[in-house]
Structures are given as C-alpha cells and as structure tokens.
C-alpha cells in the first residue's frame, strides 16, 4: 500500500476502491488529477494522466525518496516502477522491461525520458568515467531520436511518429555498460513535420541556412505548409543547439551532422519541385532547384535531372530509358523524399547503436549481462482519415494489449489458482481475434494486402478492398460498405472498418498498395550511391547493383512491420514486465480540464477496470507471508520482534486472529489475501500507532547506548590526553634543557639557539621561560660593562623606548660621545675646555651630558650659530665665535620636555616652565648625515629617570612651542637648493628649511 498520502487525494491504488465500478474509478481518477496527483497504482501497474504542465516531482530529492524502496512504501510514481524493475534485474538477475502505452499525446515519451533519467541517477555511485559516458550517451540519444522521429501535430507538440524500444545493458554490479535501440515504422508521410525540420528552419544560424539555400519561413515549403501553421511553445532555437550538441557528444562527426542537414534541406527543396508537360515531354518547371539539389547531394546535375524524369528498365540484356509522365515524376519525387528521410533516420539509429552497444563483454569474465528494456511506442490513433500508417499503429497496439492481457490479467487469475484460493472467474476482453484478423496467414489483412501487391498487371486499392470483402465477409470485427450497404459512414470501394479493442476505426484503402510496396526507383538509389559524399553514399549500398542484376523480391512494409512486432512481443514476453498506462485528459492541452467521456473511453480500451477486477477478484490485497510479517509483525505480541511458530504462515494466521480479521482473509500457499480495503486500512492504523511507540522505545535505548559509548570514549580520550600531555611537557623541558645546556660558554650566550615549539599547554610557560632567559642574557651582558658603558646603554634603551618606530635613524649602532664640542678642532676644543672647566668650578656640575653646535633663533627672530652644553645641572647657550662665551643658562629642573620631528632633520625644541622654549637645529656632524637626536633624547631621559623626574618627549610635525610667552609653530620644509638647515620667519612661527633629496 502506498504510504504518506491522505484520503483527501483519493485512493492511491485503484485496488483499494470500496466498489469496483467505472463511476468510482473515474471519480477517483478525476479527484487525483485535480489534486495534482497524476500517478495512481493498479497493483503494480502505474496509471499516468498527462498534466500538460511542468511538475516539480522529478528532482534529485524525489530520486532519493524512491531509491531502494519497495513499491508500496512511497506514493505512486514513475520512479517506483523504474526502481522495481531495476531491483528485480539486480537482485534476481532477471531481464526486465517497462512497457509504456497510451494514445498519442498521453505523455508516453516524457514518461520514458523520466524513467531513463531515474535509472541514470541511481546507478554508479563511484562516478567512474566509462559508466558516466554510457549513461550520458543513453540520455543524449533520446534527444537526437526525438528530434528526428517526433513530429509537431495539431494534437501534440512532440508526437512520436516511430516506435522505439531501448535495451539498457547492465554489468553484474548493476552499472549501465551500453544499450541497443530498435525502431519501428517511421511514419514517412509526415517526414517534413518532424521536430528537427522546424528546429532547422527557425533555430539554425543564418550562415547554415544560406549554405543549404533555405529560408526561415516554413510556409515557403510545400511539404511543411500545414505544419508551418502549428503554434508551439517549444523554443526551436534552443532545441536545435541542444540536438547538435547531443550529436557531438554521442560521437557524430561534423561532416555527418552537415550531411543530415543537407538531406533535410534536399527534402524541403524536393517538395517545391514541380513538373510540367510540353507535348509528350515531361519537364522540370523549377530548374534552379535541380542545381541546388545537385550541390547538396554532391552529385552531377544531369544525373539528378535524369533520375527525376526517366526510369531505367532492364528487359533481358537490353536496357531502355522510359520517360515519366507528370504523375509518375511527382510520385517518384515524393517517394525519394520519404525514402531519404527513412534512410537518414535508420542510419542515425545505427550510428547510435554502434557507439552505445556493449563491446568486448565476456560473461565468463565479467558476469552475466542483464537488461532493462524501455518501450515507447505510438499510441492508438483514430483520425478523420485513417490510412496505412494508422492501420499499422493500431495493429501494434492490439499486439501490446494482447501481451498485457496475457501477462497481467491471465497471470493474475493463474496466481489465485496457483495459491489454491477459490474465486469467481472474471471475464475479460481477449483481443486475440483482432490480432488474428490482421496477421493470420492467408486470411489476415496483411496477407490479402501482400497478395494484391504481388499480382501482375495494374493493381488498384479497390482490388485490395474486394479481396478483403471476399475473405473477411463473415468476420465479426470487419465490415465495409459492400457488406453493410445501409451504413452510410462508409464509402463504396474506399472504406473498411475494424472493431478494435479501443473502438471502431474506419480505414481508407487509398494509398495502401503503394505504401505497402514502398517502392523507390533503382535510378534514385544509384544516384545517391554515386554521391561524392561518403556518408550519403554509405546509406544506399544497394545502389551499386547493376540494372540487369536479378534480386529477390523485397518484403513489403506491412510484412516487415508484422515480423518486427512479433519479434518485439517475443522479446517483451521473455522479460519480467512492468507497465505504465498513459491517459490523455483532454484534447486542448489544458492542465485543468478533465474530460470525463474522453478519459472514460481510454480507461475502457486500456482494460484498466478489468485489471482492477482481476486484481481484486474478491481480495483487495495480497502479499507473501515473510513480507507481510516484516510490515505488520509489531502489531502482535506473538510475532514481535520474532515469532517461534512453525512457519511464517502460522505466524500471519495468529496475528490476524488476534486482530479479529480472520473472517476477512484467505491463506494461500505462499501469500495471504485480504478481502476488503477496510481491513488493510485498519492494519495500517494499528501499525502506525505501534511504530510510534517502537520508535520512542528504540530512541530511548539508543540514546542510552550512545551516551554510554560517548562516556567511554571521552574517558579513554582523557586518559590518553593526560598521558600524551605529560609526555609532551617532559619532552619539551628535556629539549629546552639540551639546547641551552652550554649557553654560558657560548660567545653570544645562546642568543642564536632556536627555541623548540612548545605544546599548546606550555605556551604561557614558554613565554615566562623566554622572559627569564632574556633577563639573564641582559644581566650577563650588563654586568661586564664599565660605569660609562652602563650609562650609555641606559641612554640607548631610553631612546629606543621613546623613539622606536617614529624616527628612522637613532644612532644605536655607534658609540655615543656626548660631549662633541671637545672632539672638534684643537683650537676650538681648547677654548671650550677652558670655559667648561670654569663653569664646572662655578656651578659645581658633576658631568657633561651633551654638547653640540646648533643653529638657533634669537629673541629678534633671527637665526644665528650657537653651541649648546647640557650638564647634569644646567643647559648653557654659548657663542662659538667668542671662544664659547656662555650667554645664558637654564636650570635643568626648569626643562619640562623635548619635541622632535619624525623626519631626518635635527630639529629639537626644549620646553621650559617659563614658556621661553629653546628652538635649535643640531649641526656640525661628522659625517654630515649623522643623526644625534636619538642620543640627545636618550641621554636626557636616562638622566631624568636617575633623578626620578619626568621628561615629556613629543614626536610630532609641526612642533608647537612658546617664544617669549607667544605661541608659535615650527614647520620643517625640504628644499632642493638648500645647502644647510636654516630658520626663516613665517606668519604662524618659523620654518626650518632643510636640504631636499
């Protein structure tokens, strides 16, 4: 039973109807269609109603829902049938087939495509390249065959005008390894209505159309005028590109694809070719087309004209050329067009088979090669005018219906007998009588038709009809106007009627003889064989025969088709069949309209109600005992979780007796049969209730199990983690000890030693260890320094802390002399030494911190050269031009801060408490590019720190200062022509011009 669908959508399986009647069947079918449920089961048969709209029920998520599930576990769907066929093939190693039937426009082709897509989606989880190639080929071949074999008709945008049976071969693992396509009776009458012709005209690029000498307007061509008026929602341009791409993927070469286009164009041009008569001579009235056809067929113009106007006939050893009448020329032209299209289509099928067929497969090595067959064949057709093609198509449907009856309805009754279940016999319509009417030897319609075609002399369609009337006069399913003179729906000497299983069909015998003979003049075959195009030449091998060569009479079209149908049915009968029965809800392609009578007629001739009756036969449901127990054993304490009864049959009896359903069931040899759907629904309700309780119990047990497993894993992980952590810690400490064991004796005290990578738990410990080592290393270096070196190191550290990252050159790599005025030339050094000694005696300072020549601004805003001497007590300004005569001193405690710029200049501003800042630029450096700013700042900071005083250091540009109580700004400006730094007055303060680069 299909689950997960409530009764608001109707019954998911027609077998579960309360009363089996046409009214209830139609009501359920209509309800499900209106609710958007287009699929319904009859046991294991899928009934599909064409929705005439795209439905989002074929995606990857849906594929996963049906993959590996039993038929009754999910709502009805094509995927369920496809999966059942695939499982039967894979599990039981059986060949299976899926037979899709229904009338034209019922959705058979779409159903076959979705089945192919599903099989491709569920196979090959490892995505091996070869299997992917085969799957892609099989899907792409669908696209190509539809383009060449499906036609746009007034009933259907994509009507199959040929029958297709595809075998998909699988290896022992269930992966597709190849396939084979068989085609049946391409309907050549509509050769220019096929989809690819429309795609070529409306979708091909202009350059291609020009090379083929054709126009985009379909109404220009006689063969396609009717089809040109058909409006379609299909995008011909996109479809043309898709078909071309698919042909390339399959393996068609560029020349082969171009040849296919040339043949289509030739057929269109042939349709526009007209003939006239000049006296006794037949002429071609459109000579330009002869030249075009000659170019497209790569042959000679005179040969084309000769083949169209003359027929070569051999009489013994003599060969004569017989000129066609206008009527014969037109017949030959049409026969050529149809034959070319048929050969093209058969060649395409053959090329696809060459590529996708299984090659080099040895069953002894690779295992058994199993098959899934998919049959998509034309549906039953009743048109206003029914001819030879409709006769063959409807005969095909009779054969398939007979197969359905034999394999489904007959097997159903036989199952009851096999299981030993008494039941009332159900009558069903056996259409073997109609099949015999068509194909019986000597008496059947095909035999009478072949006999008429073989008669010598002029044979007409009326003669064929007379033969039918003579041999089938007493047949209950055949009649004509001669046999029923009062039946005015039939024309004398033209019509006959067959009472098919799908309804009465009137056939017109006009054209039967010609279509059955399917003759094409040998001249055309020789013309095409002698083409310079090797692809075209290969399609017509019999063209190489000499005109005088005697050949066996070929089989007629009807006999060939009959033989292929018999072969097809035998092939299907050898496989395990699955069925999809397609129904067309209306004739206007509306997604909302459900025409009751239209659908009722299809339900009747498809034998669906008989199928339901036989499936029911007094019992709505049956299942094997093991499967039944597997689904319902949780209902009874005697069968849950496993029973100890002698057999599964006894267990099922105990289960149903306990539920009180023993009166509504019958027990077969291998299956249990349930009479009414109500019992099955009750079982499902009890099962659903018990499943919920079982799930809760299983969840409880499983959660406890998971918790215990998680605890044990966590505990084991913790023990391992602790042991591993101890190991990593010890290893790290041992490694650190090994690497730093002899650092005291190393020249750099281990500075070059690389630290080992610590485990995560010791990262903070490593930081502390590095800090300890760095302190030890610094202490080891410092303890060996002299007092003077210690002062210099402290000054450099102070400078680094204050200026690092803000000034480029701090002078850390050189020795800091501090008192640079002493190191000047001997003349000036002596004068400075004398003055500094006098100042030391007078001011009692202990040491000189820094001295240097500078450029400064005086109180009159003029720049002048001066020297600066900074001791541990004062900051002195001196005049170097007057033997360094002291000019003014500022107590060092009065200095509050120092400002420098971030550039390479030597600008320094000393900030004082009385707002009389000193603005200077250091100069006289040797070498000239040496920077002493870092030394000055570091020395002052170190001294202030030793006296526990704070000195504010600012790195900024421009620098703000106070001159004689007035606020001003000092800006540094590089100038290209500036030879040395100098100050100039500006509106806001001063500008220090320095040499530019």
The catalytic site residues sit at 104-105, 109, 156, 159-160, 379, 381
Instruction: Write b or e for each residue in 469-484: b if 16 or more Cβ atoms lie within 10 A of its Cβ, otherwise e.
Output: bebbeebebbbbbbbe
Question: Which tokens go with 809?
Answer: 């050159």
| Contact assessment for residue 387 and residue 393, using Cβ atoms and an 8 Å cutoff | no
| 938: nearest Cα among 792, 739, 752, 741 | 792
- Residue 821 near residue 867 (C-beta atoms within 8 A): yes
Tell me, letter by letter, the H, E, C secondary structure of 238-284. HHHHHHHHHHHHHCCCHHHHHHHHHHHHHHHHHHCCCEEEECCEEEE
The Cα–Cα gap between 493 and 491 comes to 6
Helices vs. strands in the chain: H and E counts, helices first: 32, 31
Question: Given CA atoms 65, 66, 67, 68 in this order, what sign does their dihedral have?
Answer: positive
Place of tokens 């008709």: 153
8 A C-beta contact, residue 475 and residue 353: no
Helices 301-309 and 287-297 cross at an angle (nearest 10°) of 120
As annotated, the binding site includes 102-109
Assess contact for 192 and 230: CB atoms under 8 A: no
Q: Residues with Cβ < 8 Å from 275, sequence gap 6 or more?
A: 282, 283, 284, 285, 309, 326, 329, 330, 333
Q: Distance (Å, rounded) from C-alpha 870 to C-alpha 853?
A: 12
3-state SS string over 2-54?
CCCCCHHHCCCEHHHCCCCCHHHHHHHHHHHHHCCCCEEEECCEEEEECCCCC
- 10 Å Cβ neighbour count for 407? 17
Q: What are phi and psi of 399, to 5 degrees?
A: -60, -40
User: By the 8 A CB rule, do 955 and 970 touch?
Assistant: no
Q: How far apart are CA 315 and CA 795, in angstroms?
A: 129
**Tokens matching residue 519:** 């003759």
The values of phi and psi at residue 519, to 5°, are -85, 145
- Per-residue DSSP letter, 378: P
Please give the annotated binding residues for ATP, written as ranges: 102-109
Kind plus residue range of the DSSP H or E element containing 376:
strand 370-376
3 state SS for 610-628: HHHHHHHCCCCEEEEHHHH
User: 3-state SS string over 671-682?
Assistant: EEEECCHHHHHH
- β-strand pairing of 907-912 with 895-900: antiparallel
Q: Which residue's structure tokens are 């009389």?
A: 916
**Exposed/middle/buried for 211, CB within 10 Å: 0-12, 13-18, 19+?**
middle
Give the start-end residues of each E strand in 377-494. Answer: 478-480
User: What is the arrangement of strands in the sheet containing 989-995, beginning at the earlier edge strand?
Assistant: 959-963, 966-975, 989-995, 982-985
Task: Tell me how far apart the alpha carbons of residues 940 and 850 are, in angstroms, rounded to a whole number.
Answer: 9
Q: Rounded CA gap, 814 and 48, in Å?
A: 96
CA–CA gap between residue 711 and residue 463 (Å, rounded)? 94
């Amino acid at each position: 039973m299909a689950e997960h669908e409530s009764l608001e959508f109707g019954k998911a399986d027609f077998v579960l109807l309360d009363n089996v009647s046409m009214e209830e069947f139609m009501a359920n079918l209509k309800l499900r269609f209106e609710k958007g449920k287009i699929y319904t089961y009859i046991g294991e048969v899928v009934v599909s109603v064409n929705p005439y709209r795209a439905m989002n029920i074929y995606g990857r998520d849906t594929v996963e829902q049906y993959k590996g599930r039993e038929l009754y576990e999910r709502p009805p769907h094509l995927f369920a049938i496809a999966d059942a066929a695939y499982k039967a093939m894979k599990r039981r190693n059986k060949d299976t087939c899926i037979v899709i039937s229904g009338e034209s426009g019922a959705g058979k082709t779409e159903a076959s495509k979705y089945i192919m897509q599903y099989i491709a989606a569920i196979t090959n989880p490892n995505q091996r390249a070869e299997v992917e190639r085969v799957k892609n080929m099989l899907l792409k071949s669908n696209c190509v065959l539809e383009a060449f074999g499906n036609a746009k008709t007034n009933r259907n945008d994509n009507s199959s005008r040929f029958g297709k049976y595809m075998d998909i071969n699988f290896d022992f693992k269930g992966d597709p390894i190849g396939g084979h396509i068989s085609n049946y009776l391409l309907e050549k009458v509509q050769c220019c209505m096929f989809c690819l012709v429309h795609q070529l005209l409306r979708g091909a690029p202009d350059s291609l159309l020009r090379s083929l000498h054709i126009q985009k307007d379909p109404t220009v061509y006689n063969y396609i005028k009717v089809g040109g008026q058909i409006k379609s929602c299909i995008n011909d341009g996109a479809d043309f590109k898709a078909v071309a791409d698919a042909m390339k993927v399959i393996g068609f070469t560029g020349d082969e694809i171009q040849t296919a286009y040339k043949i289509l164009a030739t057929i269109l041009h042939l349709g526009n070719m007209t003939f006239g008569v000049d006296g006794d001579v037949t002429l071609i009235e459109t000579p330009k087309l002869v030249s075009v056809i000659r170019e497209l067929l790569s042959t000679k113009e005179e040969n084309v004209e000769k083949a169209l106007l003359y027929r070569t006939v051999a009489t013994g050893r003599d060969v004569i050329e017989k000129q066609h009448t206008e009527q014969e020329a037109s017949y030959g032209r049409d026969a050529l067009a149809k034959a070319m299209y048929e050969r093209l289509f058969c060649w395409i099928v053959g090329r696809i088979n060459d590529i996708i067929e299984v090659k080099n497969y040895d069953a002894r090595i690779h295992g058994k090669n199993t098959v899934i067959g998919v049959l998509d064949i034309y549906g039953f057709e009743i048109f206003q005018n029914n001819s030879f093609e409709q006769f063959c198509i409807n005969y095909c449907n009779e054969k398939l219906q007979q197969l359905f009856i034999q394999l489904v309805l007959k097997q159903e009754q036989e199952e009851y007998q096999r299981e030993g279940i008494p039941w009332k016999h159900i009558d069903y319509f056996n259409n073997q009588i109609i099949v015999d009417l068509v194909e019986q030897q000597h008496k059947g319609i095909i035999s009478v038709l072949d006999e008429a075609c073989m008669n010598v002399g002029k044979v007409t369609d009326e003669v064929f009809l007379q033969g039918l009337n003579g041999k089938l006069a007493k047949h209950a399913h055949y009649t004509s106007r001669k046999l029923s003179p009062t039946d005015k729906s039939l024309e004398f000497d033209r019509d006959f009627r067959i009472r098919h299983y799908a309804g009465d069909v009137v056939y017109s015998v006009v054209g039967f003889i010609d279509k059955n003979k399917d003759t094409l003049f040998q001249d055309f075959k020789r013309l095409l064989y002698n083409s310079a195009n090797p692809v075209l030449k290969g399609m017509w091998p019999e063209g190489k025969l000499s005109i005088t060569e005697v050949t066996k009479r070929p089989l007629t079209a009807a006999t060939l088709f009959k033989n292929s149908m018999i072969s097809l049915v035998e092939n299907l009968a050898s496989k395990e069949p699955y069925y999809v029965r397609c129904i067309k809800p209306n004739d206007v392609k509306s997604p909302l309209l459900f025409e009751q009578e239209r659908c009722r007629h299809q339900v009747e001739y498809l034998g669906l109600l008989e199928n339901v009756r036989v499936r029911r036969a007094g019992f709505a449901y049956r299942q094997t005992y093991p499967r039944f127990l597997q689904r319902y054993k949780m209902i009874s304490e005697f069968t849950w979780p496993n029973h100890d009864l002698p057999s599964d049959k006894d267990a099922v009896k105990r289960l149903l007796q306990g539920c009180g359903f023993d009166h509504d069931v019958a027990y077969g040899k291998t299956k249990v049969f349930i009479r009414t759907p109500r019992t099955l629904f009750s079982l499902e309700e009890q099962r659903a209730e018990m499943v919920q309780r079982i799930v809760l119990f299983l969840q409880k047990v499983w959660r406890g199990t998971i918790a215990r497993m998680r605890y044990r894993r966590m505990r084991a992980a913790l023990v391992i983690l602790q042991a591993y952590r101890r190991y990593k810690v010890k290893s790290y400490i041992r490694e650190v000890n090994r690497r730093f064991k002899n650092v005291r004796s190393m020249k750099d005290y281990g500075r070059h030693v690389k630290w080992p990578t610590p485990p995560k738990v010791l990262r903070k410990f490593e930081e502390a260890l590095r800090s300890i080592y760095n302190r030890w290393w610094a202490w080891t270096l410092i303890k060996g320094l002299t007092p003077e070196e210690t002062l210099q190191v402290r000054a450099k550290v102070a400078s680094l802390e204050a200026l690092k990252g803000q000034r480029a050159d701090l002078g850390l790599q050189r020795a800091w002399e501090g008192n640079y005025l002493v190191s000047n030339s001997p003349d000036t050094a002596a004068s400075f030494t004398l003055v500094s000694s006098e100042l030391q005696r007078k001011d009692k300072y202990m040491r000189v911190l820094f001295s240097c020549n500078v450029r400064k601004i005086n109180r009159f805003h003029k720049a002048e050269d001066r020297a600066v001497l900074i001791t541990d007590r004062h900051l002195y300004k001196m005049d170097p031009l007057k033997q360094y005569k002291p000019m003014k001193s500022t107590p060092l405690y009065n200095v509050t801060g120092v400002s420098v710029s971030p550039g390479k200049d030597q600008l320094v501003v000393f900030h004082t408490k009385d707002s009389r800042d000193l603005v200077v630029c250091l100069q006289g450096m040797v070498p000239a590019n040496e920077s002493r700013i870092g030394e000055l700042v570091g020395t002052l900071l170190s001294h202030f720190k030793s006296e526990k005083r704070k000195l504010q250091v600012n790195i900024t540009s421009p620098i703000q200062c106070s001159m004689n109580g007035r606020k001003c700004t000092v800006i540094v400006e590089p100038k290209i022509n500036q030879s040395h730094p100098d100050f100039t007055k500006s509106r806001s303060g001063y500008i220090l011009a320095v040499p530019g680069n």
